Amino acid sequence: MFLSGNRSRHLDFVPYPFLAGTCETDVIRSTTRHQRAPRPPARAVPTLGQLLHQPYWLWLHCDACRHRVAVALVPFVIRWGANASSDMLRTHVRCAVCGRRGASLQHPSWGDAESGWEVFPVA
Ligand SMILES: [Zn+2]
């Protein structure tokens, strides 16, 4: 006859073969990870000049508080030049709501052939 206290003591013990199996799986996984093909090179970050096309403005999204603001691109091209990386814009802006530095860039939406690009929001 088993006592419940005795049984629970046995369940706390993990037999060696289970540990060995886990270790072999980990070795196989880690080996497989190293045999994957190398990642393709990261895409080049566009310059401000490359982003300067219709409709000539972008949404800046704060990744912290989701606040967004529409900005014209031309003032940034004038300030930093057309050959400046768009990362200048991503890293140098500051959110007016939460104060966090940095933003994501999003091109305005294309409606359709009749409506065209999303209209620059006028406050
Ligand atoms: Zn924010």
Q: How far does the centroid of ligand 1 lie from the alpha carbon of residue 96, in Å?
A: 7
Q: How far is the CA of 94 from the centre of ligand 1 (A)?
A: 8
State the chain's maximal CA–CA distance in angstroms: 87
Identify which of 23, 90, 87 has the alpha carbon closest to the alpha carbon of residue 63.
90
Name the residue ranges covered by the structural domains of the chain: 4-35, 48-106
- Residue 29 Cα to ligand 1 midpoint, Å, equals 40
| Rounded Cα distance, 3 and 12, in Å | 15
pLDDT tens for each residue of 3-27: 444 454 444 444 444 444 455 555 5
Q: How open is the CA angle 108-110-113, to the nearest 5 degrees?
A: 150
**What's the CA-to-centroid distance between 61 and ligand 1, angstroms?**
8
Segment 52-99, tens digit of pLDDT: 999 999 999 999 999 999 999 999 999 999 999 999 999 999 999 999
pTM of the model: 0.62
